[in-house]
Structure 1
Amino acid sequence: MKNILLFGAGKSATSLIDYLLANAPRQKWHITVADHDLILIKSKIGKSYYATPVALDIKDQAARQQLFTETDLVISLLPPHLHIIVAKDCLQFNKNLLTASYIDPEVRKLQADIEKAGLLFMYEMGLDPGIDHMSAMKLIHSIEKKGGQIFSFKSYCGGLIAPDSIDNPWQYKVSWNARNIVLAGSSGATYREKGKVKELQYEQLFDHSKTIQVPGLGKLAYYPNRDSLGYMAAYKLEDIATFMRATLRFPDFCEGWNALIKLGLTNDTHKIQTEQLTFHQWATQQLEAGTENTTEEQLALALGVSVKSKVIRQLKFLGLLSTDVINLGEQTNATILQFLVENKLKMEPADKDMIVMMHEIEFERRNMATRMHSYMITLGEDNIRTAMAKTVGLPLGIMAKLILQDKVTLTGLQIPVMPEIYNPVLKELEEYDIRFEESFE
């Protein structure tokens, strides 16, 4: 029997665990799920004969490394900064590693050692990054095989709330890690547009959000995501004029989030005491003191909007006008905002989330310019079996199966951009209604 070691049992692990357990009898594998929260693990694995729960402090080296001695494959769904701990253990114990997170500079330092050991560390094997790479590369290779010359590539993805579950002015609810939501975009963005490199600071991202038309949904807003240029080589599109990866949101969200940035409430550097600080004092901390205006009027003036505007309604909904004392000890603005987001924008049990992904590729073939759209819309079942969990977890599960069936000969530090990975993974994802529709113009 093969053994899989999974670190992390959070929001994104649900569908992965479901998949591994469903396949366990036929594939003859056993899953060990390690997390600091034993109750959480048990809620995910139930009473399955094929799974073992382990309560673990990830920084307890002896306890952690004991788990590596009898495993055949490691999957990490830990917070991104903790993957390096698992990666180093995988090297030490000669284990392959899968994760949905971005390749970071720390694991990049291990690249030569991973190759020398003949191991496969497959990073970015989730949704975005993950399904975006696989679906994009399938399109790119198909166009190039038919003699097409690509000159523009744009890829969009967003974890949203399904239209039927929208009941707040933000048009948004939390379906994944709330801290990642609060800090999204904080490093700014770099991309190429019409031959020129564009760089946007964090303060500009949501202010410059534009819209695209998605079939069946209408207009969605987007903002450039991280460093798009870093993927031009991976996609072998180094010479094209336009290359951008972007995040999707409903338009109202971008307008409201831009207001939070202007107020400095997403800052994660300076800590403040909150024992005697009210939410409205916190929200107006950067505004001029001594005014006789109400909090609502202060915020409206600072943001250049009407007190009856949608933005003020959004801030009010989050609790920024509340006279309640925060009382969370020493916190940064970002962690206070995270507390509000988790509580005010949480998914209710019957809510459904939605994943939207779209690729827009412009290419020339036989002197004819063509624009191609390929899009995917996936809905969750409820607030546990979400579309986010499904699209992050299933690619990892399918990849784990391919490795344990000895169908993957690839080694090294990789992301899923090669046909031997994306063809079987995308094909099986269609069995779970994760599929793309295409149109040309």
Structure 2
Amino acid sequence: MKIILLFGAGKSATVLIKYLLGKAPKMDWKLVVADADETLVNQKLAGHPKGTALGLDVKNEVARQEAIAQANLVISLLPPHLHILVAKDCLKCHKHLFTASYLDKEVELLQQEIQNKGLLFLYEMGLDPGIDHMSAMALLDRIGSRGGKVKSFISHCGGLVAPQSDNNPWHYKISWNPANVVAAGKQGAIYKQQNQIVELPYEQVFGQERTVAIDNAGILAWYPNRNSIPYISLYQLEETSTFIRTTLRHPAFISGWKKLIELGLTQDEPVTSFSTTSSSEILVKLLASSKQNEVFQKWMLHDSLFAIQASAIGLTNNSYQMKRRDYSPATFLQELLEQYLVMKELDQDRVIMQHEIIYHLMNKEYSLISTLVLDGKNATETAMAKTVGLPLAIAAELFLENKIELIGLHRPLSPLFYQQILPALENEGVCFSEKETTISTN
């Protein structure tokens, strides 16, 4: 029997757990799910005979290493800053590691040791990053095999709310880690546009409205996602004039979020102790600290959309009592978002991904657009959980069947990954549609 150890049973784990348990009896697997909330784990395992719940504080080194030592494959859906703990233990215990999170510099330092020990550490195997890599490389390799030269590559991705569940002025509901929603864009953004490297500080990431048309989804806004530059060489697109990876939101969200940033409500400091539990009273104190009260009041009077948005997340009323005493602006905002932009039981989220490629081939210029629009089933089986969890689950299945025979530190960029995983995703309803047109003839 092979043991799969999953760290983390949060929002993104639901479909992953369901898929692996569905395969476990036939494949003779045991799935151990470790999380600080053992009750949550038991809910997701639902008494399945091949599932075991493990109540575990991931910072408990002894318990963590003991669990890892018994596994054949470790999957981590922990918050990104905790992956390194698991990674180092996997090295120590000679265990393979898969995760949906970005490959960071701390893990890159372990690359030689991973290789020397004959292990596979597979990073960025989720939605974005993950499905974006595989679907993009399938397109780019196809263009390259025909002799095409890519001039522009823009990749959009976003987790949104499906239209049938869209009933708030932010046009957004939380389907993934709410802390990451608040932290979005804080690293700033770097991308290549018309052969120029563009660097934006955090304050400018949401600073202007940039829009894109999505078939069957309408006009959406986008903002540049982190640092696109390292992916230019990974995608072998050094000669392309434009390369941008983005995040999609509704235009109204971008408009309102930009104002929350200007008000200082996404900042991690300072942490203040408050004597009141009233959200509006805490807001007044936070805005006084950042000297933004006057700006807030002006927007409330003269920007009708923002006034509605502020009310919709509890900034101007006292109907919700805050749960804690100590807040930074960011944790204050996060708690309100979790309260007011929560998905109800039957709500559906929506994941959208779109690659826009312009390329030259035989004296002609072409536009190739590949689009994924996927709605979730409900607040538990979300499109976000499906598109983050399924790539990991399918990769785990292929690996344990000896169909991914690699060692070292990898992202899913090669045909070995996309030729097997994209068809498997299609079988699960994660499908792209393509539209190709001729732009010009030279």
TM-score range, shorter chain: over 0.9
In the other structure, the counterpart of 2:118 is 118
**Which letter maps to 1:7?**
F
Whether the 8 Å CA contact 2:286–2:329 is kept in 1: the answer is no
**Which letter maps to 1:20?**
L
In the other structure, the counterpart of 2:440 is none
Whether the 8 Å CA contact 1:192–1:243 is kept in 2: the answer is yes
* 1:407–1:330 CA distance, 2 compared to 1 (3 A): same
Partners in 1 of 2:417 and 2:323 — Cα distance?
49
- More divergent stretch after superposition (204-213 vs 413-422): 204-213
1:298 deviation in Å? 5.6
1:362 deviation in Å? 0.5
Whether the 8 Å CA contact 1:24–1:30 is kept in 2: the answer is yes
Per-residue Cα deviation, 1:195-254 (whole angstroms, up to 9, x for no partner): 000011111111213110000111000000000001111111122110000000111111
Partners in 1 of 2:171 and 2:349 — Cα distance?
11
Whether the 8 Å CA contact 1:135–1:422 is kept in 2: the answer is yes
User: Are residues 1:194 and 2:197 paired?
Assistant: no
In the other structure, the counterpart of 2:11 is 11
In the other structure, the counterpart of 1:273 is 273
In the TM superposition, 1:80-99 aligns within 5 A as 80-99=80-99
Partners in 2 of 1:43 and 1:326 — Cα distance?
27
User: Are residues 1:338 and 2:334 paired?
Assistant: yes
Whether the 8 Å CA contact 1:99–1:396 is kept in 2: the answer is yes
Per-residue Cα deviation, 1:159-207 (whole angstroms, up to 9, x for no partner): 0000010111110000000000001011110000000000111111112
Partners in 1 of 2:43 and 2:318 — Cα distance?
37
In the other structure, the counterpart of 2:365 is 369
Per-residue Cα deviation, 1:312-370 (whole angstroms, up to 9, x for no partner): 11011111112576462222100000000000000000100000000000100001011
User: Are residues 1:242 and 2:239 paired?
Assistant: no
1:60 deviation in Å? 1.3
SS at 1:22 equivalent: helix
Per-residue Cα deviation, 1:95-145 (whole angstroms, up to 9, x for no partner): 110000001111111111111111110000000000000000000000000
SS at 1:53 equivalent: strand
User: Are residues 1:225 and 2:193 paired?
Assistant: no
1:427 deviation in Å? 0.5
**Which letter maps to 1:322?**
N
1:280 deviation in Å? 3.0
Partners in 1 of 2:153 and 2:182 — Cα distance?
27
Partners in 1 of 2:43 and 2:364 — Cα distance?
55
**Which letter maps to 2:157?**
C
**Aligned partner of 1:379 among 360, 375, 382:** 375
Partners in 2 of 1:286 and 1:332 — Cα distance?
9
Q: Aligned residues: percent identity?
A: 46
* 1:70–1:341 CA distance, 2 compared to 1 (3 A): same
In the TM superposition, 1:49-198 aligns within 5 A as 49-198=49-198
1:277 deviation in Å? 6.8
**Which letter maps to 2:122?**
M
**Aligned partner of 2:308 among 313, 327, 333:** 313
Partners in 1 of 2:174 and 2:66 — Cα distance?
35
* 1:307–1:121 CA distance, 2 compared to 1 (3 A): same
Per-residue Cα deviation, 1:348-404 (whole angstroms, up to 9, x for no partner): 001000000000001000010111100001110000000000000000000001110
In the other structure, the counterpart of 2:253 is 253
Q: What's the TM-score, normalizing by structure 2? A: 0.95
* 1:439–1:414 CA distance, 2 compared to 1 (3 A): same
Unaligned runs of 5+ in 2: 438-442
Q: What's the TM-score, normalizing by structure 1? A: 0.95
Partners in 1 of 2:105 and 2:58 — Cα distance?
21
**Which letter maps to 2:186?**
S
Partners in 1 of 2:145 and 2:275 — Cα distance?
63
* 1:190–1:308 CA distance, 2 compared to 1 (3 A): closer
SS at 2:91 equivalent: helix
Partners in 1 of 2:43 and 2:430 — Cα distance?
25
Whether the 8 Å CA contact 1:284–1:298 is kept in 2: the answer is no
User: Are residues 1:409 and 2:405 paired?
Assistant: yes
Partners in 1 of 2:314 and 2:332 — Cα distance?
11
1:299 deviation in Å? 2.0
SS at 1:67 equivalent: helix
Partners in 2 of 1:204 and 1:309 — Cα distance?
23
1:274 deviation in Å? 2.1
SS at 1:233 equivalent: helix
Partners in 1 of 2:263 and 2:284 — Cα distance?
7
In the other structure, the counterpart of 2:343 is 347
**Which letter maps to 1:48?**
H
SS at 1:280 equivalent: helix
Partners in 1 of 2:15 and 2:287 — Cα distance?
45
Unaligned runs of 5+ in 1: none
**Which letter maps to 2:311?**
K
1:307 deviation in Å? 3.8
Whether the 8 Å CA contact 1:74–1:97 is kept in 2: the answer is yes
**Which letter maps to 1:336?**
F
Partners in 1 of 2:99 and 2:390 — Cα distance?
12
Whether the 8 Å CA contact 2:150–2:358 is kept in 1: the answer is yes
Whether the 8 Å CA contact 1:284–1:299 is kept in 2: the answer is no
Per-residue Cα deviation, 1:49-103 (whole angstroms, up to 9, x for no partner): 1111110011111111111232110000111111001100110111110000001
Partners in 2 of 1:365 and 1:300 — Cα distance?
56
In the other structure, the counterpart of 1:433 is 429
In the TM superposition, 1:208-219 aligns within 5 A as 208-219=208-219
Give runs of ≥4 in structure 1 deviating > 6 Å: none
Partners in 1 of 2:285 and 2:204 — Cα distance?
21
SS at 1:395 equivalent: helix
